[in-house]
Amino acid sequence: EIRGIKKELGIDEEPKLTVNSLEVLRKRYLLKNDKGENIETPAQMFRRVASAIASADRKYGSDVKRAEESFFRSMSKLEFLPNSPTLFNAGTGTNFAMSACYVLPVEDSLEGIFTTLKNMALIEQTGGGVGFDFSRLRPSGDIVRSTKGVASGPVSFMRIFDTATDVIKSGGKRRGAMMAVLRVDHPDILEFITSKSKQNILTNFNISVAATDKFMNAVEKGEDYDLINPRTGKIVKKLNASEVWDKMMENAWQSGDPGVVFIDEINRHNPTPRAGKIEATNPCGEQPLLPYESCNLGSINLSRMITRTGELNWEKIRDAIHNSVHFLDNVIDVNPYPLEEIDIITRLNRKIGLGVMGFADLLIRMNIPYDSNDALDLGEKIAAFFEKEAVNASEELAMQRGIFPNFSGSIWSDKSEGRRNATVTTIAPTGTISIIAGCSSGIEPLFAVAFMRHVLGGARLFEINPLFERIAKDRGFYSVVLMEKIAKYGTIQNIKEIPEDVRRIFVTAHDISPQWHVKMQAAFQKHTENAVSKTVNLPQNSTPEDIEKIYMMAYKLKCKGVTVYRYGSKGEQVLNLGLDK
């Protein structure tokens, strides 16, 4: 009887959320009334989203209620979560789109630039992030015929986008994120590389140099390469590739920017080359897209895919993948796109990006150190399984609903009978949805065993890794004093009273050598159709040469891009080791 009442009240449906999760949900996700009070519970939020996304099934004559139940179940059990904009906007009647990722083209005209600026604003309002390739813009100092003046170049226009984003951010739910890409052969490349070297400039941008194979070869041989004016197509100058490469490393060492996107490797995997070339990725780099294309992401929580005996439950993962592909494909249909151009190309390719979160938690539960060959093997096996099953699910959907319109002429047309989606897998950072799910983010190792987390609005939350807390209690070495000591250092590697085997399993991002970070990124990339979001952490005392080795290694291992983060090199950090207090 009590269970019946509970069910009626929806109590049975309430997901088990951590304090941090509830905090984040209350602040940014749960619907509010005009007074700013939350007017839905987390379960009601998942119901709202499940119902809005399931409604797409009606068009295909499938069972809407059944889809709603399975979507609701997977989200409320924290087994699967879509990217934040879907949680923010689905079923709210706001007409805000649900994708996290967009790429907008920037044309070489004042009108073109400001049209893109406006389109960016419309996207940021929905919580989506935008990537731009600024390479079509004529270089600074070039002529402007209409005004008889001189052009100010890509970097100065980036400042306008940055300022606009600042203004939008103050009214929105989350910080707008942007990615600026510039081809390495653009005449303004040196200015671009140093554009973020001063603190507090272009803070809403991640910047990445689009490095071509030609350039990478020139770096290895120490040769010169050509800079080309995009307006005229003419070679205007030569630079020494190694010198440009070194400049990139110096700046990445100083500020984390620029990252690199290996643009030729990306285009070798462009599924729809006839629909255009890929020029840029979304802000965190995991989603290469065509101009005007958008993509919605979702991630399966691996820490909830473990059997009682501590094995991976592959059957459960398979079901979760099929359910999630169904979910993400539905999003494409119900998504109110902010622009007609986005609507058109998104529906022609129907890209989705399913990935994982909680990978580090999984490794801990399976007693595998992150920086080990066993972890690489498991990562690769998981990625391959995701790719295979997500493709299966997409092929099944194609039989029920039709292939994606650009299928013929795509790289899949002679490999598959038909797919519903041009791409199916992406490894997202899962920065916020992993907090909601209470798991480690994406495929990253633990950031710290205990730390202070900065959240929106300046608050700081103290966190101890729950798996560590449990082990410490089970094995009898838990004490408040010890936990405080850990929080001070973040890492437990030098705390002798913690057993050796526990220290080995609870390695954090900064304990792990940068090479292992890259190897893990490459292991997942091998079987991921889009790209992999991964931060390669380096210790504070590492050098630009260390960064150089990492960038080159990422290129050799066929990563689609690489980003490093040297501890302490950025002004603002989302996560801080306790030591910083």
Please name which of 162, 145, 144 lies closest in space to residue 153, comparing C-alpha atoms: 144
DSSP for 500-528, please give it: HHHHHHS-BTTTS-HHHHHHHHHHHHTT-
d(CA 27, CA 21): 10
**Nearest distance, CB of residue 125 and ligand CDP, angstroms:** 11
Count the Cβ atoms, other than its own, within 10 Å of residue 58. Answer: 12
In degrees to the nearest 10, what's the CA dihedral of 6, 7, 10, 11?
40
Please say which residue, 27 or 174, places its beta carbon nearer to ligand CDP: 174
- The token pair that represents 578 in the structure block: 């306790």
Is residue 330 annotated as part of the catalytic site, yes or no?
no
Which residues lie across from 179 on neighbouring strands? 131, 206
User: How near is the Cβ of 127 to ligand CDP at its closest, in Å?
Assistant: 7
What dihedral do alpha carbons 13, 17, 21, 23 form, nearest 10°? 80
Give catalytic status of residue 548 as yes or no.
no
When the beta carbons of 188 and 286 are compared against ligand CDP, the nearer one is 286
Is residue 538 within 8 A of residue 566, CB to CB? The reply is: yes
Q: Please say which residue, 271 or 431, places its beta carbon nearer to ligand CDP.
A: 431
Closer to ligand CDP at the Cβ: 432 or 542? 432
Q: How far is the CB of 90 from ligand CDP (least distance, A)?
A: 13
Provide the minimum distance between the beta carbon of 367 and ligand CDP in the complex, in angstroms, as a whole number.
Answer: 27
Closer CB to ligand CDP, 87 or 321, in the complex: 87
For residue 438, give the nearest of 21, 15, 13 by alpha carbon.
Answer: 21
From CA 220, how far away is CA 236, in angstroms rounded?
23
Task: Return the HEC string of 366-414.
Answer: CCCCCCCHHHHHHHHHHHHHHHHHHHHHHHHHHHHHCCCCCCCCCCCCC
Q: Which residue number is nearest to ligand CDP in terms of Cβ?
A: 129
Q: Which is nearer to ligand CDP, 411 or 455 (CB)?
A: 455
Q: How far is the CB of 258 from ligand CDP (least distance, A)?
A: 16
| Residues in contact with ligand CDP by the rule CB under 6 A | 83-84, 100-101, 128-129, 174-175, 177, 282-284, 286, 428-433
Cβ 257 to ligand CDP shortest distance, Å: 15
Contacts of 194 (CB under 8 A, 6+ apart): 247, 251
Question: What DSSP string describes 31-88?
Answer: -B-TTS-B-S-HHHHHHHHHHHHHGGGGGGT--HHHHHHHHHHHHHTTSEEE-HHHHH
Residue 88 or 412 having the CB closest to ligand CDP: 88
**Nearest approach, Cβ of 332 to ligand CDP (angstroms)?**
17
Distance CA 239, CA 227 (A): 7
Q: Token match 């190792």: residue?
A: 445
Query: Per the residue annotation, which of 119, 206, 282, 406 is the catalytic one?
Result: 282
* Separation of alpha carbons 191 and 579, rounded Å: 35
Please report, for residues 193, 520, 566, the alpha-carbon distance to residue 250 in angstroms, rounded to integers and kept in the order given: 10, 24, 12
- Comparison of 129 and 187: residue with beta carbon closer to ligand CDP: 129
Query: How many Cβ atoms from other residues are within 10 Å of residue 92's Cβ?
Result: 12
* Shortest distance, position 418 Cβ to ligand CDP, whole Å: 29
The DSSP bridge partners found for residue 454 are 460
DSSP-based three-state secondary structure for 111: helix
- Work out how close the CB of 428 gets to ligand CDP at its nearest, in angstroms, rounded to a whole number: 4
Supply the Cα-derived Rg of the chain in whole angstroms. 24
Q: Tell me the closest approach of the beta carbon of residue 273 to ligand CDP, in angstroms.
A: 23
Strands (E), 403-542: 450-454, 460-464, 536-538
Return all residues near 337 (Cβ < 8 A) that are at least 6 apart. 97, 294, 343, 346
Residue carrying the six token digits 């989603």 = 287
Compare residues 175 and 318 and give the one whose CB is closer to ligand CDP: 175
Q: Give min distance, CB of 357 to ligand CDP, in A.
A: 8
Of 100 and 471, the one with the shorter C-beta distance to ligand CDP is 100
282 belongs to the catalytic site: yes
* Catalytic residue, candidates 284, 295, 439, 559: 284
Residue closer to ligand CDP, measured from CB, 379 or 431: 431
Return all residues near 377 (Cβ < 8 A) that are at least 6 apart. Answer: none
Instruction: Kindly tell me the burial class for residue 520, based on how many C-beta atoms sit within 10 Å of its own C-beta (0-12, 13-18, 19 or more).
Output: buried
Q: Residues 23, 124, 286, 387: which is the catalytic one?
A: 286
Just list the catalytic residues: 282, 284, 286
